[in-house]
A and B are shown apart, each in its own frame.
Chain A
Amino acid sequence: MPTNVPTPVTPAMTRREIEERATEILVRHGLFTIPIDLVTLANREGIKIHNAKFSEDGLSGMVAKRAGATTILVDQSEPPFRKNFTIAHELGHLYLHLIGDGEFIDSMIDLFRVETPDDIASEHKRKEVQANQFAAALLMPRQLVMETYTDVKDIKELARIFNVSETAMAIRLSQLGLA
């Protein structure tokens, strides 16, 4: 959930624009190879990522930006691929929504949020959907998934190659019209 620090109204970015933004960031840092190395990406951007123990159950991660310094915290108890997706999700908020200072606190529900007609009316839900789209595009770039899919059709194997959960890979393949 976004906190009380005002952030600009979410621009109505299309999925394609979000995809292009994620790809552009990866290409710019020379990280357009699988598996996507988010830790190196964050390091190069000067973003600090730390494990953390949260006071509320269900919190998965948060991102805070203050005076140019950005910190991402992820739940230390989460498995590796979940942490990876949480980091990608928080990077989505950072690149898409945090124009100035601000923060986002994300629960498990936010990380599983997919686009529904109701989301059009909700600024918060729209941001979460966009952050998830960005995370998917960042961890599973369209071009790399398409190329890999020509050789590997098994979701389990694809998930392993891209370092994501099988659920995330299944959703991505569905979005790309491959499954």
Chain B
Amino acid sequence: MEESILPASLKDKVIEIGAAVSLQDVATYGQLQEIQDKSFRMRTVVNAWERQQTSERELRSRYAKWLLITLSVQMMFVNIAFFMIGLGYLSVEKWVATTFIMTVFGEVAAMTFIVVKYLFPEGASAVLALIERL
């Protein structure tokens, strides 16, 4: 390529002349800047995700706590009612007692389902996909 402008005395020193040196070839600064920018974006996303996760975990924890308290109170109430009916302190129709107890246990099962399904969702695949795009 440029061998024609090389003096004869230099030709034996050169095996091959490659492409012209571009700014990118010597731009360590630019390359570092790019890596740092990418790293900064990544850290920003991960930090935001971490804060969001912590916040959501605390919220879920509060929900779960109050749900458990509510369910415990309800279960206790059902058990008391059960024993009161059994001991004759409370008199209700058999179908009412059966329906009441079955309803409460159905409610407990539904609550458990809700807790498992919505309070503990699947992994953060969306965030991982975002990180991959970065």
Complex contact A54–B15 (CB within 8 A): yes
A31 at the interface (CB under 8 A from B): no
Closest residue to A160 on the B side, CB-wise? Answer: B32
A16 at the interface (CB under 8 A from B): no
Complex contact B26–A87 (CB within 8 A): yes
Q: Mark A1-19, 1 if CB is under 8 A from B, else 0.
A: 0011100000000000000
Interface size class of A (residues with CB under 8 A): 35 or more
Partner of B19, one of A50, A55, A84: A50
B90 at the interface (CB under 8 A from A): no
A contact patch SS? mixed
Interface size class of B (residues with CB under 8 A): 20 to 34
Complex contact B20–A3 (CB within 8 A): no
Partner of A163, one of B12, B22, B27: B27
In whole angstroms, how far apart are the Cα atoms of A37 and B27 in the complex? 9
B10 at the interface (CB under 8 A from A): yes
Partner of B20, one of A5, A49, A62, A66: A49
The answer to whether A55 and B13 touch (CB under 8 A), given A80-B27, A87-B26, is: yes
In whole angstroms, how far apart are the Cα atoms of A162 and B27 in the complex? 10
Complex contact B28–A79 (CB within 8 A): yes
The answer to whether A163 and B29 touch (CB under 8 A), given A3-B9, A54-B13, A105-B13, is: yes
Complex contact A4–B9 (CB within 8 A): yes
Complex contact B5–A64 (CB within 8 A): yes
Q: Mark B16-30, 1 if CB is under 8 A from A, else 0.
A: 111111110111110
B31 at the interface (CB under 8 A from A): yes
Complex contact B26–A39 (CB within 8 A): yes
Residue of A49, A52, A54, A55 most packed against chain B (CB within 10 A): A52
Closest residue to B19 on the A side, CB-wise? Answer: A51
Cβ of B13: which chain A residues have Cβ within 8 Å of it?
Answer: 54-56, 59, 62, 105
The answer to whether A161 and B14 touch (CB under 8 A), given A39-B22, A51-B19, A66-B5, is: no
6 A-B residue pairings within 8 Å (CB atoms): A50-B20, A50-B21, A54-B13, A62-B10, A80-B26, A81-B28
- Can you list the 4 inter-chain pairs with the closest CB atoms, starting with the nearest? A51-B18, A163-B29, A80-B28, A84-B26
